[in-house]
Structure 1
């Protein structure tokens, strides 16, 4: 069942997404060598609650934290821990906010200090591939067009796209139909209509596209232990140009301050 959102509902998601964007900015300010990933989780939870929201991920299917923090070869769903960040690490911060009955969801992968050039390229290309996918999230396109654009851009740069994990519809539930793969064939899949709100989230690997799940039942890692990157926006399908509801603006401000 695919739920199309009214303009009033989209406005409520936008309010949730603004808190989320600002929370991401707060986390970005803290990311540096020597900081524990658990400290980032605590800061995010406090910020979201102080601004009238709830962390979407906490207690979702038993997930124990507010953030999914995935360092280096962890693709997604990593647990915050006492691990302290090192120069050269990459860290994906995935966060959701629930407010006014609606969820928003976004992710950003940060370079900690100085990373290898090929790892920086992985981050840049993954972020670009997110926007390539968003360009196709317009009325009349199909989900295959979104996935194809992401896959084409990532693979042209020599990287690989994770297949087992996908984006998703979002609204009153954190995960709704349809699934939004980061690969696909043009002209195939669900036809996109105005008011469909989806989270597009490419997960791109430096090495093999294959992944393994760790014993905690959550953490997903690359099979070859090479770095992975993950970027995500919540967007609404519109006639000529998708509307991005989440924002990286506060992250970019924090990085430049």
Structure 2
């Protein structure tokens, strides 16, 4: 069942989204050569506690996970892309780091992810990150009343395939609002003009993620961290949006802090 949100409820989600954006901006700026993933996790915990927010990840226990998740942010490095379990790892020059963060404030949730390149970026990594960002922007642009869910998916797919990257369909975007995962599922591949009709009041997390040379995934022994099956590097971009009569509204929009230099 899809719950349409009122303008007042969307604004409450926007309040949460601004905080999510603040955390991802700050942590992305902190991610540097010599920084440990656990330091980023602890910084995120402090921000969550100070804001009085509720982590959507702490005690999260879906069917695919290995016990409850006991962290407030997902941190994934290089060939890891989703549900990265923070651990004792010190970032190296050229590492590709994905940060994925979701919290609730006063009962309303927002979810967002960004990929940053630590230190000196490689051209192929810049290109991969840029592809996910452009795919996300295309998906957001398609999220308009009267369009179909397949229009969002097709827009994301067109950018990814235009860059020559394969697309995994096991994990994708989703509805959200009072909880982190609600209907509908939003695939990163689809057919325009097909699927659920988009209506004002729908709130969605769109999240194109890509691996450079495969659409297959594997799980780490920790039961959480998802990697590209062939070890190729990955990237992930995500925003929470609201569909309104005036067009899509990005609820987790960050200040102008690019993930990496745009020249490649």
What TM-score, normalized to structure 1?
0.95
Aligned Cα root-mean-square deviation (Å): 1.6
Q: How does 1:1-257 map to 2 (within 5 A)?
A: 1-61=1-61, 62-249=68-255, 251-252=257-258
State the 1:233 CA deviation: 0.2
Aligned length, in residue pairs: 255
Q: CA–CA distance in 1 between the matches of 2:8 and 2:111?
A: 18
8 Å CA contact 2:156, 2:188 repeated in 1: yes
Unaligned runs of 5+ in 1: none
8 Å CA contact 2:126, 2:260 repeated in 1: no
8 Å CA contact 1:17, 1:105 repeated in 2: yes
State the 1:254 CA deviation: 11
Runs of 4+ in structure 1 off by over 6 angstroms are: none
Q: Can you list the C-alpha shifts for 1:137-187, whole angstroms capped at 9, x where unaligned?
A: 010111111011111111111112221101100011110000011110111
Secondary structure (helix, strand or coil) at the match of 2:247 reads coil
Unaligned runs of 5+ in 2: 62-67
Q: CA–CA distance in 2 between the matches of 1:217 and 1:190?
A: 33
State the 1:250 CA deviation: 6.3
What TM-score, normalized to structure 2?
0.93
